[in-house]
Structure 1
Amino acid sequence: MGLTSRKVLVLAVAFAVLLFIGTVWLWPRLARRNWRAVSGRVGLLLATQLVLFASVGLGVNQAFGFYASWADLFGKETDQGVVVDHSALQNTGGPLHVVDTRRVDAPGGSSRPQRVGQVQRVDIVGRTTHIATPAYVYLPPEYFQPQYRTRSFPATVVLTGYPGTAQALVDKLNYPRTALQLARAGRMQPMILVMMRPTVAPPRDTECVDVPGGPQTESFFAKDLPDAVVSHYRVSKKPGTWGIIGDSTGGYCALKLAMHHPGTYVAGVGLSPYYKAPKDPTTGDLFQGDETLRNEADLSWYLKHRPAPDTSLLVTSSKVGEHNYNDTLKFIDQVQAGNSTRISSIILDSGGHNFNTWRREIPPALQWISGRLTDWWK
């Protein structure tokens, strides 16, 4: 049974309840002062506490999608790393290969993609970076309707935080369902969503940086990913048709990619982002002594020392519950002092660094990004 399986959580909770009942039942028998009774009391208390904490941890992981598997939890994930095997492109018939499809969980119960759209699980291989990574692609219902068979659609890349799971973007943050509901209500245009982790070389957190001698993550998101999607789907090739959105680490990546590559991403949304690539045990040395690379990964430095990029940015925070509140206000002021870059914000009165907060911000953020992409009718 997998880490995110409901059966695992139910079993853990049931075991915790049984241990609690057993402790209450056996406690009178263990009230003596000999070493066996003392050891029994300590063992029961310790076992109950461990199972209780495991139950809470499993529940939190299911709610927020921190780890996708036992291997991911224990740092033993080795699949979907950096691939330098050129035959991979030949085996998939191209840089993008559809692995599975599923219906969108939407009101009405229809399973027809013409009504609710479709979510496709795909594998992507970068033609130039040779990075291989899984993703989920949401196709709106209009994509399957005969009257629009010649239409191309705008696209938005959606990124998780670190470590995060791409599936959480579908099941926990509900991006496909939210996009469907907003489009039905006329609040955003139909668009394709490409949902994935920014961690394309797990377990390392590359912070969307072109690591010297390592994964060329920024180049993958700036060029390889759009090229792969355009090669497989009816995505518009016109300027201004791509946006990017992410939370936490993904939010930092979204802002950086929109600023560094405005010709690719005309709009970027950072939900609870930070503004500078960290250095910690999960990242390692991302810059290998390259001071220019380090500076350009600092968004404040970039605004001060590089021409203002012609792109639109949206940042979010909350007055209570988010550690990035003051940094976000400073970033907004800094962008406003420039000429070309446009800045918008969502500031909540309260909200933590979690899925519940981001679910409150995603609908207006999707509506905002839709309004900045080229209209699919044109």
Structure 2
Amino acid sequence: MGSRPSTRGVGAALVAAMCVAPAVTGCGSSGAKAQTPPASSTQPGTPAQAAPAGRTQPPVVMPSGPKAHFTFSHRTSGGPIMVTTLKGARSGVTGKVWVWLPPEYKDPRYARSGFPVLMLYTGNTGVNYNFWAHEEVEPIQRTAVQMAKRHKAHPFIMVMPVLQMSTRQDTECSDIPGMPKMGTFLGDDVYAMVRANFRTLPGRDGWGLGGASSGAFCAVKLALQHPDRYRAAMSWAGYFEPEPQAGPRWTARQMRANSPTEMVRKHPDVRLFLLAGDRRMFRADKDRITAFQRLVRPPTTVKVEIQKNGGHYTADLAKLLPDILAWFTKTLPGPVPGR
């Protein structure tokens, strides 16, 4: 995935940045049930505040298991990254999933609070790797902590799975006959694992997807494919048509079934944030956004941000992290601590 810089490749700097050489128990709580009283939650774009006296906590889905086995992966300035090897019950795929919990997650004040979730998909092939989990590539955890302290962003649970099993199997986060069912792994199995192990928010409103380059295609595709599960998706330097380059060739029907361009014509209730740079050599990134934007109709909504002199490199993406986290904060509710 993402091997052609003119369309969706990550570019030399991104490829170089991705070549990074890098015991926490699971967070499940078997038998707990969802708490669903009507309650106040944070308004979009506002920091989490303690619930006023006499008012109930916002709804929270408590983890119910099965409990995943997480181990310590590595440390960032924003806190530790955990990792688990997930054996997908529905997909049959086994792949790594990295998770970062914001500092507030273990704060006693938030012990009965649900947190919004961001699924983050890496660029390039995403084989046994996800650059969002590595601060030296994309410092999103550090940025999130800094913004939360300034009341500029919600504390999000960040989930960072692999995208495919082999560089020779360009699955495009889809279920293609004869290939690993990565669409089911990412859309069903990873989603179910997060709900089973962490305190989340009920319904779809607390769930967002984000991706870079190849991962941006995945974020938009899965959001449009599962509008009952995800409220919002962010795409940086992405594309909106499948571009399989390896393994068995797709049929025209398979291409249409996994095309965000086709899915958006059904106008699902999803919010999209599309970003790209205007640097001349990466003009295709901007042009694809412009073409896709023309197809959007309510209730689908789209916000576009074109980065002046921006390109298709991790250094460009790093500059956009505050805007991305601010958009997700305005779009998704945040946790509310108790007293």
Report the TM range for the smaller structure's normalisation: 0.7 to 0.9
CA contact (8 A) 1:316 1:347 kept: yes
Aligned equivalents of 1:95 and 1:354: distance in 2? 37
After TM superposition, give the deviation of residue 201 of structure 1 in Å: 4.9
Matching residue within 1, 17, 23 for 1:64? 17
Q: Does 1:327 align with 2:283?
A: no
1:270 aligns with 2:235: yes
How far residue 228 of structure 1 moved from its aligned partner, in angstroms, is 0.5
1:344 CA drift (Å) = 0.5
Q: Which has the higher contact order (CA 8 A, sep 6+)?
A: 2
Partner residue in 2 for 1:224: 189
How many residues get paired? Answer: 279
Taking structure 1 as reference, are residues 141 and 250 closer, same or farther at Cα in structure 2, changes over 3 Å only? same
Whose Rg is larger?
A: 1
Change (3 A) 1:65 1:330: same
Q: CA deviation at 1:254?
A: 0.3
Specify the SS of the correspondent of 1:120.
strand
CA contact (8 A) 1:160 1:166 kept: yes
Residue 170, structure 1, aligned to residue 134, structure 2:
yes
CA shift for structure 1 position 279: 2.5
CA distance in 2, matches of 1:237, 1:223: 16
- Counting only pairs closer than 5 Å after superposition, residues 347-366 of structure 1 correspond to structure 2 as 347-366=306-325
What percentage of aligned pairs have identical amino acids? Answer: 25
Deviation at 1:192, TM superposition (A): 0.2
SS at match of 2:175: coil
Secondary structure of the 2:89 match is coil
Letter in 1 for 2:220: L
Amino acid at match of 1:173: E
Distance 2:69 2:151 in 1: 32
Q: Answer whether contact 2:171 2:179 (CA < 8 A) is retained.
A: no
| Cα distance change on mapping 1:271 and 1:162 into 2, 3 Å | same
2:270 to 297, 306, 311: 311
Q: What amino acid maps onto 1:99 in structure 2?
A: T
Q: Which residue of 2 aligns with 1:285?
A: 248
* Structure 2 CA distance for partners of 1:174 and 1:341, relative to 1, 3 Å: same
Q: In the alignment, does 2:295 pair up with 1:295?
A: no
Deviation per CA, 1:85-116, whole angstroms, max 9, x where unpaired? xxxxxxxx94732021544315xxxxxxxxxx
Match of 2:336, as an amino acid?
A: W
- 1:142 alignment partner AA: E
| Alpha-carbon distance change, 347 to 60 in structure 1, aligned in 2, over 3 angstroms | closer
Structure 1-normalised TM-score?
A: 0.68
Take 2:20 and 2:142, find their aligned partners in 1: how far apart are those partners?
A: 23
How far apart, CA to CA, are the structure 2 residues paired with 1:60 and 1:245? 21
Query: Does the 8 Å contact 2:238/2:285 carry over to 1?
Result: yes
Distance 2:73 2:20 in 1: 23
Equivalent position SS for 1:124: strand
Task: Go from structure 1 to structure 2 and tell me whether the alpha carbon gap of 1:168 and 1:156 turns closer, same or farther (over 3 Å shift).
Answer: closer
TM-score (normalised: structure 2): 0.75
**Contact 1:64–1:168 (Cα < 8 Å) also in 2:** no
Contact 2:123/2:131 (8 A) holds in 1: no
Q: Aligned-pair distance for 1:329?
A: 0.9
Letter in 2 for 1:141: P
**Partner secondary structure for residue 239 of structure 1:** coil
Q: 1:67 to 1:177 in 2, by over 3 A?
A: closer
Contact 1:212 1:286 in 2 (8 A): no
> How many angstroms does 1:168 deviate by?
5.4
Instruction: Report the equivalent of 1:15.
Output: none
Q: Is 1:96 equivalent to 2:75 in the alignment?
A: no
Higher helix share: 1
Q: Which secondary structure state, in structure 2, belongs to the residue aligned with residue 313 of structure 1?
A: strand
| Contact 1:188/1:370 (8 A) holds in 2 | yes
Deviations 1:26-55 (A, max 9, x none): xxxxxxxxxxxxxxxxxxxxxxxxxxxxxx
| SS at 1:351 equivalent | coil
Moved more, 212-221 or 272-281: 212-221
Kindly report which structure 2 residues correspond to 1:39-54, keeping only aligned pairs within 5 A, or say none.
none
